[in-house]
Structure formats: structure tokens, C-alpha cells
């Protein structure tokens, strides 16, 4: 959680149109350093589009996005790669690349034209492998790992990148509940240690409430609400965003809202 409320991301009237399709209507949103935001909403609501605009992989149709007070378009690609890391929902493909080699790819933004970096940062990969319990898998190839293990390697790769902002696009979609929780706990530990800022598109609202400081809700490409899990995750708000009628309960250990689905025929 942010301690100094220093602004990192400023989104002002930002929108995106593809031909005749408006994927994201103009949105205003601010993210402070050290915060963890969950971005939620139905399929096709503009969540991934928003992440792509912040990452600079898509261009704005209107409005402005600033990072640390500077227009996103003024950063070089290398500058952005040192500042922002992106992890997609499918993580890493099952290919015959050793784990260590994949994690080392995260250091690319800091290497010179010879593929080398300063000696004082040479141990970053080993440290990350140790922190995520991957050292014993370092010489194994990705195609020999389970989906949960590959997603942990994907996280190690972005940790090795040492970004100040991490963008996650549905990172737990293909994981079972054990790996989902493990992955989110690893993120929480990293954030607590480094004060990294996280923006995560999440489908699981209960995970979002457990781990995120704030939630941005989108529907039909429009802002449907911004706030804490306690303020956003009410039965009325969930119905407005997702068109379902949930039963809301408070988590017995963490006092955050949790959603129970109801069968409409009951």
C-alpha cells in the first residue's frame, strides 16, 4: 500500500476506438505509487485495452496517460521496459527453454549491446530464483513444468526485470485454486518488500477483494466505479456491473467482502 501517496499513473480522458468500435470510453483514473489496483468487469468491458494503453503497446485514440508526471509517449521503449513489466494470462508457452535462461530475459532492458550489465546487478537472477523456490528447477525446460510452475517462472522473469509498475492481465485464469492463491501470495510478498505498484485485471472478485487495495470496475468500456473492495463490492454494485444477484458475506479472517453466487431458479 502506498505510504506517500505519490502519483505514478494519471489517466485523463483516455479512450480507444478500433474502427467503428469504441473499446474504451474516455476514463479518468489515478494510481499512486505502491498501490495494488484490481481491474474488474465483464468480458469485453475494456480491461485489457486499458492495460495495453498504459503499457504503451496500444496508442490512445483520445486523452492522455502520464507516468510519473511525464506523457507516456515521451518515453523510449527501453525506458518503459525498465519501468513497466507486463504479465499476460497465458504466462509462458511450454517450450524447451531452461528456466534460468527465461528468467535472465528479464534483465534485457539493463544490458549493453554486448548483452552484459554491471557487476553489482549480476546476482539478481539468482536472488529471484531463490525467493520463488525455483533454484532446483533452474536447469529444467519449460515444457517439463506444470502450468502453475510455468506461471511462477513467468513471475520470476518480471521480478528480474525490477519494474516499478507491474501490469497483470488475468494472471490466475488457467491455474487451480492452490496455484491461484500461491501466485497471489507471492505477488503480495513482492509488493510488501519492494513497494512495487500493481495493476491487475482479475476475473475472481474474491481474490481481488482479498489482495487489492482498490478496485476499478468497467462495463461496456465505461468506468462503473472506483474505490476500496468494501465500497465497490456490494450486492447492488455487483448487480450493476455483472447483472447477477449475489449474496455478499464478510471474510471471517480478513473482514473484506466475499461473493457467493445464487442460482436464479432458487
Residue whose cell numbers read 447477477: 244
Read out DSSP for 177-245? HHHHHHHHHHHHHHHHHH--EEEEE-S-HHHHHHH-SEEEEEETTEEEEEE-HHHH-SHHHHHHHHS--
Classify residue 61 by burial, with Cβ atoms within 10 Å: 0-12, 13-18, 19+.
Answer: middle
CA distance 197 to 210: 16
Contacts of 133 (CB under 8 A, 6+ apart): 152
d(CA 250, CA 237): 16
Q: d(Cα 234, Cα 225) in Å, to the nearest integer?
A: 12
Interatomic CA distance for residues 262 and 140, integer angstroms:
44
Neighbouring CB atoms inside 10 A of 181's CB total 15
The answer to whether the Cα torsion of 47, 53, 58, 61 is positive or negative is: positive
Q: From 39, 19, 21, 20, select the one nearest 29 (Cα to Cα).
A: 39
Domains of the chain by range and CATH? 7-96+161-260 (3.40.50.300)
Q: What is the pTM of this model?
A: 0.91
The per-residue pLDDT for 95 is 87
Strands 247-250 and 257-260, by their bridges, are antiparallel
Closest CA to 166 of 222, 110, 88: 88
Residue 245 is placed in which grid cell?
444477484
Q: Are strands 62-67 and 36-40 parallel, antiparallel or unpaired?
A: unpaired
* Digitized pLDDT (tens) for each residue of the chain, 266 residues in all: 444 579 999 999 999 999 999 999 999 999 999 999 999 999 999 999 999 999 999 999 999 999 999 999 999 988 998 899 999 876 788 889 999 999 998 888 777 655 566 555 668 999 999 999 999 999 999 999 988 889 889 999 999 999 999 999 998 888 899 989 999 999 999 999 999 999 999 999 999 999 999 999 999 999 999 999 999 999 999 999 999 999 999 999 999 999 998 877 65
Check if the beta carbon of residue 165 is closer than 8 Å to that of residue 9. yes
Residue with the three cell numbers 503480495: 188
Amino acid at each position: 500500500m502506498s505510504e506517500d501517496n505519490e502519483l505514478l499513473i494519471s489517466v485523463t480522458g483516455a479512450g480507444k476506438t478500433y474502427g467503428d468500435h469504441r473499446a474504451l470510453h474516455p476514463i479518468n483514473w489515478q494510481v499512486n505509487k505502491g498501490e495494488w489496483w484490481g481491474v474488474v468487469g465483464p468480458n469485453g468491458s475494456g480491461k485489457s485495452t486499458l492495460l495495453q494503453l498504459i503499457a504503451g503497446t496500444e496508442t490512445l485514440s483520445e486523452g492522455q496517460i502520464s507516468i510519473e508526471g511525464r506523457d507516456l509517449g515521451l518515453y523510449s521503449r527501453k525506458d518503459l521496459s525498465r519501468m513497466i513489466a507486463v504479465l499476460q494470462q497465458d504466462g509462458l508457452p511450454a517450450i524447451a527453454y531452461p528456466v534460468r535462461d527465461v528468467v535472465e530475459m528479464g534483465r534485457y532492458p539493463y544490458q549493453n549491446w554486448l548483452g552484459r550489465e554491471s557487476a553489482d546487478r549480476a546476482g539478481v537472477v539468482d536472488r529471484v530464483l531463490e525467493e520463488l523456490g525455483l533454484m532446483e528447477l533452474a536447469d529444467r525446460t519449460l515444457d517439463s513444468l506444470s502450468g502453475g510452475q510455468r506461471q511462477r517462472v513467468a513471475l520470476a522473469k518480471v521480478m528480474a526485470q525490477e519494474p516499478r509498475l507491474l501490469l497483470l492481465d488475468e494472471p490466475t485464469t488457467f491455474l487451480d485454486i492452490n496455484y491461484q492463491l500461491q501466485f497471489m501470495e507471492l505477488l503480495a510478498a513482492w509488493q510488501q518488500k519492494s513497494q512495487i505498484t500493481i495493476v491487475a485485471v482479475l476475473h475472481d472478485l474474491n481474490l481481488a477483494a482479498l489482495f487489492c487495495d482498490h478496485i476499478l470496475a468497467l462495463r461496456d468500456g465505461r468506468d462503473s466505479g472506483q474505490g476500496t473492495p468494501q465500497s465497490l463490492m456490494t450486492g447492488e454494485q455487483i448487480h450493476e456491473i455483472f447483472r447477477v444477484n449475489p449474496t455478499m458475506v464478510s471474510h471471517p479472517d480478513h473482514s473484506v467482502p466475499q461473493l457467493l453466487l445464487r442460482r436464479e431458479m432458487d
